[in-house]
Amino acid sequence: MRISVYFVLIILAFLWSCHSEIPFDPGPMDPDVIDTMLVNPVDTSMNTPQDSTGMPVDSSAIDSTLAPCDTSVIYFESDILPILIGNCANAGCHDPISAQHELVLTSYDALKLHDDVIVPFDLDKSELYEKITEDKVSDRMPPAPNEALTQDQIVKIGKWILQGAQNNSCNDGSNHSCDTAIISFANDVKPIFDTYCITCHGSSNANGGVSLISYNGASSVAKTGKLLGVVKWTDGFLMMPLGGNQIPDCDINTLSAWINQGVTNN
């Protein structure tokens, strides 16, 4: 009898111990969620830009107009095109209407239609450079009796070709502002004439009897009102440069300010 009681007590103790164990979950255990940003944080400041395909972005495709101007670089838009328009793209020469030798010099695209006119990095093979530096006056461009390009203009075109003859431009940081508070003839006005006018209005030819190569000639035409009339393309005046594009607004404002300030020789 006593043995049976002991046996029953042992069985009850065993059942109680099994009831108090933590139940076993036969399912798989979920892994802890790992914050990958904490394991290998991404340094976005050092990443190479990528397009939608995941390929690196070609930095050369970035609009060059957003880049600040580099004084060691010659830019087509601000340095070369004004020379071409003011000295080559005139009526009877290389404007869109005349297009001598089927060559138009009013834009980069028009210029590049002729492979031999400009050959990047090679002055000897670039016909434009050969023509503007020709010793024989009868073969030189602009043709006589027009004035030859200035040495500064020739150097700019040469450097531009040697730098690759790119269709480039830059941001000069001025936000296209035009400070006309104090205008100097030597520093502000004469460079405009040298760029756009002296081919037709130099010392040797002076079309229409108007010479803009010196202060005396420039001031004379400025005081009559004709200078502003022709550059503003006012009704009743010839549109200058003849056959070319109108000069930039900033240059027109500069000439206007110079006249309003008394046409000073400063």
Question: Tens-digit pLDDT profile for the chain (266 aa)?
Answer: 555 545 545 445 444 444 433 333 333 333 333 333 333 333 333 333 333 333 333 333 334 444 888 999 999 988 998 889 888 877 778 878 777 888 988 899 999 999 899 999 999 999 999 999 999 989 999 888 888 898 999 999 999 999 999 999 887 765 445 889 999 999 999 989 888 887 778 776 678 888 898 999 999 999 999 999 999 999 999 988 876 778 889 999 999 999 999 999 99
pLDDT, residue 241, reads 81
Find the DSSP H helices in 20-64: 36-39
Task: Give the integer Cα–Cα distance in Å for 95 and 258.
Answer: 29
- pLDDT at residue 205 in the model: 65
Q: From CA 74, how far away is CA 203, in angstroms rounded?
A: 28
Q: Alpha-carbon distance 217 to 207, whole Å?
A: 12
pLDDT at 246: 84
Scanning the chain, the segments in alpha helix (DSSP H) are 2-19, 36-39, 81-87, 108-111, 127-132, 151-162, 190-196, 215-224, 226-231, 249-260
Q: For residue 191, say if its preceding peptide bond is cis, omega within 30 degrees of 0.
A: no
The burial class, CB within 10 Å (0-12 / 13-18 / 19+), for 74 is buried
Q: Identify the burial level of 85 via C-beta atoms within 10 angstroms of its C-beta, where 0-12 means exposed, 13-18 middle and 19 or more buried.
A: buried
pTM for the full model?
0.59
Q: Which residues have C-beta within 8 Å of that of residue 258, sequence separation ≥ 6?
A: 183, 185, 188, 189, 222, 264
The count of residues in the chain is 266
User: What single DSSP character describes residue 56?
Assistant: B
What span, in angstroms and rounded, lies between the C-alpha atoms of 250 and 186?
Answer: 17
| Closest by Cα among 229, 189, 195, 193 to 211 | 193
195 — phi, psi (to 5°)? -80, -45
Question: Looking at the DSSP assignment, which residues form a beta bridge with residue 56?
Answer: 50
- What is the rounded distance in angstroms from the CA atom of residue 230 to the CA atom of residue 85? 16
3-state secondary structure of 261: coil
Residue with tokens 């150097």: 155
Cβ atoms of 86 and 195 within 8 Å: the answer is: yes
